[in-house]
Amino acid sequence: MSEFGKVAVLQGGDSAERDVSLRSGAAVVSALRSAGVDAHPFDPAHYPLAELKEQGFARAFNVLHGRGGEDGTIQGALHYLNMPYTGSGVLACALAMDKVKTKQVWQAAGLPVAPSIVARRGQPVQYANLLRELGGKVMVKPAQEGSSIGMSSAASAQELEQALELAFQFDNEVLIESWLSGPEYTVALLGNKALPAIRLETTHEFYDYDAKYQASDTQYHCPAGLSDVEERALQQLAEVAFRGLGGEGWGRIDVMCDKQGHFRLLEANMVPGMTEKSLVPMAAQAQGMSFAQLVVAILRHSES
């Protein structure tokens, strides 16, 4: 498709999610080429971004996951180069990459989230008191990592101490959330409109890195098993949450239910995975869209 010119598929990078990004990139390059797009892989860990212009690229399809690619950094650089790129802009990506800031924005907008406390490296933590305050069991998350990296649960003071030690290996700020025991859903957005919701089912305690990328027994239900009213309510919640962060083009919102069955927003993904096990392509397929059609649609929303 000559309308796009020469397209750089940004992949790899140097974040903790490099391997997943390389897999996403390979899938996107193949799909774009099958649709007639002049697409080429480009790894910023190996080449300076200035070469995008030198090599004659007209726009960028960004599948750099994690820090550097999903936090506003690459978006700002591409904007400076005056190169159109897929996905959200600098501010939306910076907010969404930071789970603490994301939660603060959603809370300020009156959107439903789980009770939580922020821990910072070097500050004392009263483990038993914190657990009591958050209901006895918690999920511990580094503020700025994706793919469930550095995440773990805790139901005792000792487990919480260990979970924080792990999380602080990845970040100086950690989000500690009340444990949500209901089903987990994810809602992909394309052109700022929600695609069919997917319900995730894993034999693991939670949807961790292994369940996402390696396990063979993780199940994905689309349709998600919700009533029409519940499905639309979940889609509307995802659309409002995405817009609230300034999201554009495409992305994904993760949601869980509490024990009363109420939806609680978890996090936003502005550069979701695009591997063979990824969720956005699965949701698009449920709406009758092939992987090639999906990547072309995402590319059409690219901005500078």
Angle of helix 291-300 relative to helix 18-34, nearest 10 degrees?
100
Is 278 assigned a catalytic role? yes
Q: Is the dihedral of CA 62, 65, 70, 75 positive or negative?
A: negative
**Choosing from 88, 147, 148, 302, which is the catalytic residue?**
147
Of the residues 15, 88, 178, 278, only one is catalytic, namely: 278
Tokens at 273, concatenated: 């995975």
C-alpha torsion sign, points 218, 135, 109, 225: positive
The C-alpha atoms of residue 222 and residue 213 are separated, in whole angstroms, by: 18
205 is catalytic: no
Known catalytic membership, residue 30: no
Of 15, 17, 88, 178, the active-site residue reads: 17
Is residue 254 part of an annotated ligand binding site?
A: yes
Binding residues for Mg(2+): 254, 267, 269
Binding residues: 254, 267, 269
The catalytic residue positions are: 17, 147, 278
